[in-house]
Amino acid sequence: MVILGSTGSIGVNALIIAERFNVYVEALVAGKNIALLNEQIEKFHPEYVAISDPNDRPFVKHAHVFVGKEGILELLGKCKSHIVLNALVGFVGLAPSIEALRLGKQLALANKESLVVAGHLLDTARITPIDSEHFGLWYLQGKRPVTRMMITASGGAFRDTPLEALPHMSFQDALKHPNWSMGAKITIDSASMTNKLFELLEARWLFGCEQLDAMIEPSSLIHAFVSFKDGSTTAHLAQADMKLPIAFAMLGEIKEEILPPLDLSTLQGFSFQAIDPRRYPIWEIKEEILANPTRGVVINAANEVGITKFYNREINILELAELSKRAFFRFKEVSPSNLQEVFEIDREVRAFCLR
């Protein structure tokens, strides 16, 4: 297999599963963590390696190193592996997703932006999502007619912050996730609830279900609910550990324990909360984006610009959501009919948000 984003949390967990099940890792793609990449090279002996920054090339302990966005695409063309795990962060992950599918490979997808911005243009039959919520939906649905799908949210770093304090919360405050440690972008997206909006769009393209929603479940032990035409609803419970969906994506079927099972007798009970638009203003456009899912490219571009502005202290977490909403309504008529238009719209929205 090929792992794009090998030094991030998904990539590290994927390598744990690869080692456990003796899966050959043909290529590793990493960003700036060259020290960890070199450790991975020494342990897994990949045929090819790619990095983001050409200045880091002399420090990579490998003979076949590709560099930059074009380097990743060239690497994919040389690889013989059937499975490509894409755990790159942000819009930059779209081009490798497109290329992997063009080459006829199975795409194990943790780069949610690929589906958010171009889900209607990608062959989802060859995409396996690596996400606890979508894994839960897939695990539950079976062959019975589905009427509704529900995913859960942790609520992020500001779940319990007084509303009046939200404008004063810093980028570093937003990184203090209450349940686990993840990369910076997804943690910020969790704090703003943009991540959950993206996951609803992913579910729309992956499962074809139009009745979608999300709610806060603070323990992060229930990942998804599926309601059926017969009136019943089932829930998927598991430890919050990405090794389970990764293992299924890599191996197709699992017949041994990946995670320790939940001891239900020790749980104190579950609570569920509606997502409050006062705390998470992005939620105000949930219904409209689900009714117009091809406009996901607008939300993604505005959000990526907004996160940089938030980091630079130009805006606060509430204004980050307002920037995304402003772009969403400014580009109300867009509906990309091909991948070239996706890239063009992305550029236009970024320019608008940088004004």
Q: Does the annotation flag 263 for ligand binding?
A: no
- What type of residue is 47? E
Q: Does the annotation flag 192 for ligand binding?
A: no
Q: Are strands 106-109 and 27-29 parallel, antiparallel or unpaired?
A: unpaired
CA gap 325, 271 in Å, rounded: 29
Q: Does the annotation flag 286 for ligand binding?
A: no
């342990």: which residue's tokens? 43
* Beta strand residue intervals within the chain, DSSP E: 2-4, 27-29, 48-51, 65-67, 83-86, 106-109, 127-129, 146-153, 212-216, 222-228, 233-237
Q: What is the pTM of this model?
A: 0.93
The first and second tokens of residue 255, run together, are: 């017949």
| pLDDT value of position 143 | 87
The domains located in the chain, with CATH, are 2-129 (3.40.50.720), 156-192+276-355 (no CATH)
Q: Does the annotation flag 152 for ligand binding?
A: no
Q: Does the annotation flag 183 for ligand binding?
A: yes
For residue 2, what pLDDT band results from cuts at 50, 70 and 90? very high
Q: Does the annotation flag 9 for ligand binding?
A: yes
Q: Does the annotation flag 132 for ligand binding?
A: yes
Q: Does the annotation flag 319 for ligand binding?
A: no
Q: Does the annotation flag 271 for ligand binding?
A: no
Q: Does the annotation flag 32 for ligand binding?
A: yes
| pLDDT value of position 179 | 75
Q: Does the annotation flag 41 for ligand binding?
A: no
Q: Does the annotation flag 133 for ligand binding?
A: yes
For residue 38, what pLDDT band results from cuts at 50, 70 and 90? very high
Rg (CA), the chain: 20
For residue 265, what pLDDT band results from cuts at 50, 70 and 90? confident
For residue 3, what pLDDT band results from cuts at 50, 70 and 90? very high
Q: Does the annotation flag 131 for ligand binding?
A: yes
| pLDDT value of position 269 | 82
Phi-psi region of 193 (alpha: psi -120 to 50; beta: other; left: phi over 0): left
For residue 83, what pLDDT band results from cuts at 50, 70 and 90? very high
| pLDDT value of position 202 | 97
| pLDDT value of position 177 | 85
Report the pLDDT averaged over residues 242-263: 92
For the segment 152-188, what is each residue's pLDDT rounded down to a tens digit? 999 999 999 999 999 999 999 999 988 777 788 999 9
CA gap 285, 297 in Å, rounded: 14
For the segment 103-159, what is each residue's pLDDT rounded down to a tens digit? 999 999 999 999 999 999 999 999 999 999 999 999 999 889 999 999 999 999 999
Q: Does the annotation flag 8 for ligand binding?
A: yes
Q: Look at 231-235, 268-272, 343-347 and tell me which has the smallest mean pLDDT.
A: 268-272
Q: Does the annotation flag 337 for ligand binding?
A: no
Q: Does the annotation flag 196 for ligand binding?
A: yes
Report the pLDDT averaged over residues 180-207: 93
Report the pLDDT averaged over residues 67-83: 97
Are 324 and 303 in contact, with CB atoms under 8 Å apart?
yes
| pLDDT value of position 78 | 97
CA gap 74, 89 in Å, rounded: 19
